[in-house]
Amino acid sequence: MKTIKVNDLIPSREECGCNLIHDNTLREVIIGREVLKELPQILEELNLKKPFGVFYDKTTLKIAGEKILEMVNGVGFEVSEPTFKEAERKTSTAKGVQTVIATGGGTVIDIGKYVAYKYQIPFISIPTALSHDGIVSPVVSLFYENGRRSIIARPPILSLIDIDIVSNAPRTLSSSGFGDILAKVVSIKDWQLGRDEVGEEYCYTAERYTLKAIELVIDVLKIGRSRDYEILAEALIYSGVSMMVAGSSRPASGSEHLFSHYLEIHSSIRAPHGIQCALGTLPTSLYHELHNRNWWKNLEYNWKKLKEYMEKAGIPLSLKRLEIPVELAVKALIHSPEIRPERYTILHKRRPTREEAIWLLKETELL
Ligand SMILES: [Zn+2]
Ligand SMILES: [Zn+2]
């Protein structure tokens, strides 16, 4: 069992010297086998109040929800869809709850986070899969009528990552988690472009945690340990910490995430989040290599190496295999900056032409 005291890792804004948020709501993350059974004791230690609202969906009720409900004598809330509408519905039915505990993948965690934020009460995340870095981030990402939107809420106060649970999730979900971290090789460089070219606030503490996350996953993937769930969990936590520090998803989401958002808005076929972002990472990192003089000098971070790591993580790197239409991917490279005009990236700096977009996809062998 490993406990990461996240509180102690986050310096104050003054100590850091930046003007960003440095949110230190998250006290600790506990990673290990069978850590779920420690929950009642930890709730007591943290002095968290009843009634506990326990959020799950149909699948995660069986995996962990039932156990949690019984252990904490909680009130159950079943989440049915990944929308802000559902988050609002759950908020109104959860009135009176004093602590929110959410167990699941992205949707359940985000809806629990939203409800806790609305009532300004503590939130605990208990992921059932390691598919993305929203496990402990302050970001809530859900759908509304015209696509996905992210808002900033508050991070959890505690996260329990039970390795016996997350290692039983389908492999494509942990592949997604690895992909979400490898994508940061691009997002950090996009943020630096924002810093250097449009004067955006930058934070070296956030950068440090993102880099730590990248290094952790590259180190295990290099030696083929794509089932090292402890390390993947730690990497996702550090990426979450960088977002808490920045007070936004800026360190963790650049042009490669915009690529993924574009696919989501314009198509109903969806691969897991981190797999779509990994796909976006290859053409955008090649594009950076060509047009950004500040791109990594470290050869470990060039697109060919990233591709090797992604393959080792079990990410299918082909538009065809993921049933993504070629035209959609081409348009995503050209038009995704329009989704967030204010978030400066390499695609904002220099919009690719149609020919360039096709070439990027061919060169990286996605096409
Ligand atoms: Zn992500
Ligand atoms: Zn800072």
Residues 154 and 188 placed together within one structural domain of the fold: no
Cis peptide before 51 (omega within 30 of 0): yes
Structure tokens at 223: 């030696």
Residues 177 and 159 placed together within one structural domain of the fold: no
Arithmetic mean of pLDDT over the chain = 97
Closest ligand relative to 239 C-alpha: 1
Residues 222 and 293 placed together within one structural domain of the fold: yes
CATH number of the domain at 61, please: 3.40.50.1970
Helix or strand run (H / E) with residue 341? none
Domain count, the chain: 2
Per-residue pLDDT at 59 exceeds 90: yes
Residue 131 CA neighbour count, 13 Å, CB half: 22
Per-residue pLDDT at 313 exceeds 90: yes
Closest ligand relative to 106 C-alpha: 1
Which residue intervals of 36-83 are DSSP H helices? 39-45, 58-60, 66-72
Closest ligand relative to 251 C-alpha: 1
Closest by CA to 99, choosing from 85, 81, 79, 113, is: 113
Residues 134 and 175 placed together within one structural domain of the fold: no
DSSP-assigned states of every residue in 203-225 = -HHHHHHHHHHHHHHHHHHHTT-
- Using only C-alpha atoms, what is the Rg of the chain? 20
Distance of alpha carbon 257 from alpha carbon 109, whole angstroms: 20
User: Model confidence over 253-297: pLDDT tens digits?
Assistant: 999 999 999 999 999 888 999 999 999 999 999 999 999 999 999
- Is this prediction's pTM over 0.95? yes
CA of 285 to the centre of ligand 2 (A): 25
CA of 122 to the centre of ligand 1 (A): 23
Residues 183 and 146 placed together within one structural domain of the fold: no
Closest ligand relative to 244 C-alpha: 2
Q: Is the dihedral of CA 287, 293, 296, 300 positive or negative?
A: positive
Q: Whole domain around residue 183: which residue ranges?
A: 171-363
User: Model confidence over 174-191: pLDDT tens digits?
Assistant: 999 999 999 999 999 999
Residues 34 and 110 placed together within one structural domain of the fold: yes
Residues 106 and 196 placed together within one structural domain of the fold: no
Backbone torsions φ then ψ of 322, nearest 5 degrees: -95, 5
CA of 245 to the centre of ligand 2 (A): 6
CA of 230 to the centre of ligand 1 (A): 19
pLDDT at position 8: 94
Residues 223 and 317 placed together within one structural domain of the fold: yes
User: Model confidence over 217-251: pLDDT tens digits?
Assistant: 999 999 999 999 999 999 999 999 999 999 999 99
2 forms beta bridges with 31
pLDDT at position 269: 81
Residues 253 and 219 placed together within one structural domain of the fold: yes
Query: Is 344 in contact with 197 (CB distance < 8 Å)?
Result: yes
CA of 238 to the centre of ligand 2 (A): 14
Closest ligand relative to 18 C-alpha: 2
Report the alpha-carbon angle 143-145-149, nearest 5: 35
For 275, the 3-state DSSP assignment is: helix
CA of 185 to the centre of ligand 1 (A): 12
Structure tokens at 88: 């609002």
For 155, the 3-state DSSP assignment is: coil
**Domain final residue pick, 166, 200, 225:** 166
